[in-house]
Amino acid sequence: MIPASPRARPRLIGQLWFQVLVGMVAGVALGHFAPDAGAAAKPLGDGFIALIRMMIAPVIFCTVVHGIAGIGDMRRFGRLALKAILYFEAITILALVVGLVAVRLWQPGVGMNIDPATIDTASIQDYVKTAGEQSIPQYLLHIIPRTFASAFSEGEVLQVLFVSVLFGIAVAASGDRGRPVIGLIESLSGAFFRIVGYIMYLAPIGAFGAIAFTVGRFGAGSLASLGSLIVEFLVVCLAFTFVVLGGVAAWAGVNIFSLIRYIRDELLVVAATTSSETVLPRLIQKLEALGCEESVVGFVIPAGYSFNLDGTCLYLTTVAIFLAQATNTPLSTGQELALIGILLLTSKGAAGVAGAAFVVLAATLASLGTIPVASIALILGIHRILAEGLTFVNVIGNCVATIVVARWEIAVDLKVLADKVGTPALRRRVAAG
């Protein structure tokens, strides 16, 4: 009997992306034909998300600490961090501008003539209250956890990243005395990633529950009432992904279509759960498997989940200008530039605030003081649908960012990268030596 080749592809039914797709189709059917039962399936999706979030803090800690300790040279780490932040800021500004220009040209809110005084704001009080409590100085101070352990118990990405970087630097500075710690961290990392692998077996069930709830709870009515905004935003997300991120990826020698195919399992999970956090541990594994050094992946991916939210930036400018159009609120060029400036700061909190992008939107409108904050009630019912687009862009954007920084740092195996997701030009370059 000839043993199976280790490169042999698993049967279709055994592939995660297919299982998740089946779960999503079943969820759509349940939500459409039995809306109440679909809405009742929400705990299945919530449970899967909770399981993954349970693992995010230890995975980030082990990956970041091991990566920084492995670098050893703190000057190199500082250079890596600076390059990552510069890239994040450049792409963030571009996403904000693209979102603003696109919604100005499409004008999905023009003609709605909504009077803010007639809007029922009862459903958004919690979001507005949370937004009002989150000033910029408070957000910056919130990065520092109350205790070392609370960063893990509260599970906030920025706090975990903060203590992980400090611990990694301390271990690296310990020299030979830090080697046993590095060995322990490496062993723990293997165990944590194995647990993530076990949890991912439940992804089809989580996808079923999450998509059944979305369809059952919001259904076609929400799509029809604000259809122009939904279509406009999804088109902008696709255009940004394939034109902007695709162009950046090509510059780094990566074919964007090959990259999307490579992470298709993760993208389907994100589409079903509308949470990019559900795939953070898997992205770390997959990008390391692409040939990117652990030190780069371990810093850029967790940092990108707070500082490189391209899809969230598209959402924030799109919805803010849409609400101005819908309520006939005139905005001057100066006010639009002020909006971008405020979002450049507030968008960094989208991963660390309860309610995520929706809360950040409320905080931004409150800071701007021009567009009625009450108007966000108009998009509350379709926020989860819009999240399908923004989380998709966030995940791809952070993958591209990691590859770009890795190439910038000469910290990637070009042969592996070219074989899996490389452009023809990169493959020719690698073949030529």
Domain ranges, ordered by start, for the chain: 14-432
Phi-psi region of 369 (alpha: psi -120 to 50; beta: other; left: phi over 0): left
The predicted-structure confidence for 263-287, as pLDDT tens digits, reads as follows 998 898 888 877 777 888 889 899 9
The predicted model gives 190-205 an average pLDDT of: 86
pLDDT at 3: 42
Non-local (6+) Cβ contacts of 142 within 8 A are: 134, 156, 158, 159, 352
pLDDT at 354: 40
The predicted-structure confidence for 4-47, as pLDDT tens digits, reads as follows 444 445 576 777 778 888 888 898 888 888 888 888 888 888 88
Give me the half-sphere count of Cα atoms (radius 13 Å) on the Cβ side of residue 222: 17
Give me the half-sphere count of Cα atoms (radius 13 Å) on the Cβ side of residue 279: 28
pLDDT at 415: 93
pLDDT at 391: 87
Question: What average pLDDT does the chain have?
Answer: 82
What residues are paired with 383 via a beta bridge? none
Q: Is the pLDDT of residue 418 over 90?
A: yes
The predicted-structure confidence for 219-258, as pLDDT tens digits, reads as follows 655 455 577 888 899 999 999 999 999 999 999 999 999 9
The predicted model gives 133-146 an average pLDDT of: 69
Domain 14-432 indexed as CATH 1.10.3860.10: yes
Query: pTM score > 0.85 for this model?
Result: no
Which stretch of 91-100, 149-158, 175-184, 230-239 has the lowest confidence by average pLDDT? 149-158
The predicted-structure confidence for 354-367, as pLDDT tens digits, reads as follows 446 777 787 778 77
The predicted-structure confidence for 59-98, as pLDDT tens digits, reads as follows 888 888 887 777 766 788 888 889 998 999 999 999 999 9
pLDDT at 165: 84
Which stretch of 204-213, 216-225, 291-300, 369-378 has the lowest confidence by average pLDDT? 216-225
Distance CA 209, CA 216 (A): 10
| Location of structure tokens 């159009």 | 325
